[in-house]
Structure 1
Amino acid sequence: MSATRPQVIESKPPFWSRPRMFIGVCIAIVAGLGGAFYTQDNVKSAATLVTTTQQPAAQIMAHKDYLKVQRIAITAPASDQSLELWAIPDDGKPVSLGLIPEDGEGIIGLNPRQQASISKPVELMVSAESKGGSVSKQPTGPTVYQGALANR
């Protein structure tokens, strides 16, 4: 009678072994932190625009390359007018930051020149201009709102 050997079955380690679990957790942490740093877009400065009678009209929040406009009590312009937002630097030459959205809320994209004009505290002013904004690149209509843009 010959002796039979017991068959040895090799067991595979489970898929989520400790080294694989550690590597997976590290990848998830790095991806999460990378995404958080990449999408971080903090408000750099803000202003509350007020009417000539000092009533709050809109909140402006300046991000790196855009402004977010939130209406408080902004009045829609006449049908043949647009509201244009201006930065008034210390040297006094206004820089157009763009048109206030017609409903009073939204995003205004900024080019590098506009970004530079609001990189430090500055006075903001909104004027009533002809439809589409000032053609002279300077405010021509009356001031409807104003406020100081201050760093946060």
Structure 2
Amino acid sequence: MSDHPTIPPEDDDMLAAEVALGLTEGDERAAARTRMLQDRSFARRVADWQERFAPMAEDIAPVSPPKGARKALMSRLFPARRVPLMQRLWVWQGISFAALATVAFLALPLLQDPGEQAPDDVYAARMVAEDSALELLAVMDMARGDIALRRVSGTAPEGRVLELWAILPDRAPISLGVLPEGDVNRVALPADLAPEAAQITLAITDEPPGGAPGGVPTGAVMAAGAVAEL
């Protein structure tokens, strides 16, 4: 049974729109965030509204933040202590793209044990494709040297497997292996890719059982997303 009171659909939708616009404050805002972590349907409503509002900003000229602005912001917001990953996910969501409104909710199974602090270098990506139902959230933890993935929706075509690739400028796709069964997995990140972590685009193709022949992708791109630093 849900802990949330029954809300008429039209009121629920209006609340999601207000959250997407950042109009909620104080206790109402905290309650909405808590609900996003617990209620997948409501979290998706918020994400849908943020997608609808995104075109409103298309005429605004993009401005690149100064180098190191994100780390400086984190230092100001959370001085004299290391910042838990959940807090970093929320701040990162607010200053990157709107489609990751549900990032904290989706990332819950990927986080460390309660009380463990996040490492300095963490990257994340939302992996999607226009013509595929597959959607994943990836969190790349440089201290652990791996990528945690949560499958939000979609599966491999019948008789095929999902293979994860790291794509870097001027290099052939690098196979990170066939994804095991299950919605949550961890995949090792080759140590030689660590210096170029910020430039990685993660992609998933459908391949024959056993993986792509010769380590070269042959199937369709099912989902992809460039990583961004948290």
TM-score bracket relative to the smaller structure: 0.5 to 0.7
**CA 105–76 in structure 1, closer or farther in 2 if over 3 Å, else same:** farther
Instruction: Find the partner of 1:83 among 162, 165, 180.
Output: 162
For 2:128 and 2:202, the matched residues in 1 are separated by: 10
Q: Where does structure 2 lack aligned partners over 5 or more consecutive residues?
A: 1-115
Amino acid of the residue matched to residue 229 of structure 2? N
Which runs of structure 2 are paired with 1:1-150 in the superposition (5 Å)? 41-42=118-119, 44-53=122-131, 57-64=135-142, 65-78=145-158, 80-116=159-195, 119-150=197-228
Contact kept, 8 Å, 2:156 with 2:206, in 1: the verdict is no
For residue 74 of structure 1, report the CA deviation from its aligned partner.
2.9
For 1:102 and 1:114, the matched residues in 2 are separated by: 25
Contact kept, 8 Å, 1:58 with 1:70, in 2: the verdict is yes
Length-normalised TM-score, structure 1: 0.63
For residue 148 of structure 1, report the CA deviation from its aligned partner.
1.0
**CA 130–53 in structure 1, closer or farther in 2 if over 3 Å, else same:** closer
For residue 126 of structure 1, report the CA deviation from its aligned partner.
0.5
Largest Rg, 1 or 2: 1
For 1:120 and 1:44, the matched residues in 2 are separated by: 10
For 2:167 and 2:194, the matched residues in 1 are separated by: 13
For residue 122 of structure 1, report the CA deviation from its aligned partner.
2.1
SS of the equivalent of 2:192 reads helix
Contact kept, 8 Å, 2:136 with 2:151, in 1: the verdict is yes
Q: In proportion to residue count, which structure has more strand?
A: 1
Aligned to 1:28: none
For 2:205 and 2:134, the matched residues in 1 are separated by: 16
For residue 58 of structure 1, report the CA deviation from its aligned partner.
0.6
| Mean CA deviation greater in 55-64 or 127-136 | 55-64
Amino acid of the residue matched to residue 110 of structure 1? L
SS of the equivalent of 1:133 reads coil
Matched residue pairs, number?
Answer: 112
Q: In proportion to residue count, which structure has more helix?
A: 2
For 2:184 and 2:157, the matched residues in 1 are separated by: 13
Length-normalised TM-score, structure 2: 0.43
For 1:54 and 1:129, the matched residues in 2 are separated by: 15
**Greater RCO, 1 or 2 (C-alpha within 8 Å, sep 6+):** 1
For residue 138 of structure 1, report the CA deviation from its aligned partner.
1.5
Amino acid of the residue matched to residue 186 of structure 2? I
**CA 67–138 in structure 1, closer or farther in 2 if over 3 Å, else same:** same
Q: Where does structure 1 lack aligned partners over 5 or more consecutive residues?
A: 1-38
